[in-house]
Amino acid sequence: MKKALVVLLVLLLALPPAVVYYGYSRFPAVLSPTDGPQAKDVIYVPCHGKLIRFEVESYMAHSSGNFFKDLNWTVRFAHYKEPYKSITIIVGSTDFEECANVDKETCLLRTESAGDISGCIGAIATAPFYLQLVKELGNETEARLEASKKAMGITHNTYLTFMQKVKLGLGIIGNDRNLVIILIGPKEGAKENKIYIPRDGVLVVEATGERELNCAVGALLTLLKCPG
């Protein structure tokens, strides 16, 4: 918490107040694009004996017209000249930072969701590095260990703080250099069950129930064919 406050203070001092306010005011538009989706579909997610309907949408500037292709491109960097330099997982509201105001089950489910998606995206991001190391070292175990270290170095879990909203609004994160994945559940005011790409470099998983959010993350990992 103290570290976050220090970073926030630095950001506020580095940017003019008008810029900070502009970035913060732009955040809602990041999550709720005004233009219609460039690609949309529906998936049904198995969840505790039920099938939950999830809308899947892409608002990418250069959409393929197919959500599943856009999802793959967004995560695997296929439409950029270079891979992302870093990956930011926004776990949820600051209530989840220490889970002081969250019941145990909700805390465990959100922690699991964030951990699963962080591990998946980190593995995808470092897959080329891993394969290169296998060729160079001839040792899969050592290559996997080094790739895991690299994944941990570029993947950062954080929370939906004022600072992150400003940075998203200004495009400092969630761009062709930094992939942002945001988890939105009941604590964050989720209104529907949806997985969507509101702009290039940003992926949102939203669900009206915490269990449903956890199931949606599991479905996302299946769609992405995450390395096991």
In the chain, pLDDT over 70 holds for what percent of residues?
90
Query: Has residue 77 got a pLDDT over 60?
Result: yes
Query: Has residue 217 got a pLDDT over 50?
Result: yes
pLDDT bracket for residue 79 (50, 70, 90): very low
User: Which residues lie across from 58 on neighbouring strands?
Assistant: 39, 197
Torsional sign, CA 192, 223, 52, 107: negative
**How is the chain split into domains, by residue range?**
2-224
Query: Has residue 176 got a pLDDT over 60?
Result: yes
pLDDT bracket for residue 159 (50, 70, 90): very high
- Residue 59 CA: distances (Å) to CA of 30, 199, 212: 10, 6, 23
Task: State pLDDT tens for residues 81-106.
Answer: 677 889 999 999 999 998 888 999 99
pLDDT value at residue 3: 54
The phi-psi region of residue 19 (left if phi > 0; otherwise alpha if psi is between -120 and 50; otherwise beta) is: alpha
Residue range 176-198: mean pLDDT, rounded: 96
Q: Which of these, 60, 46, 71, 57, lies nearest to 194 by C-alpha position?
A: 57
When the pLDDT of each residue in the chain is averaged and rounded to a whole number, the result is 88
* Distance of alpha carbon 145 from alpha carbon 119, whole angstroms: 13
Task: State pLDDT tens for residues 32-73.
Answer: 998 899 999 999 999 999 999 999 999 998 899 999 999 999
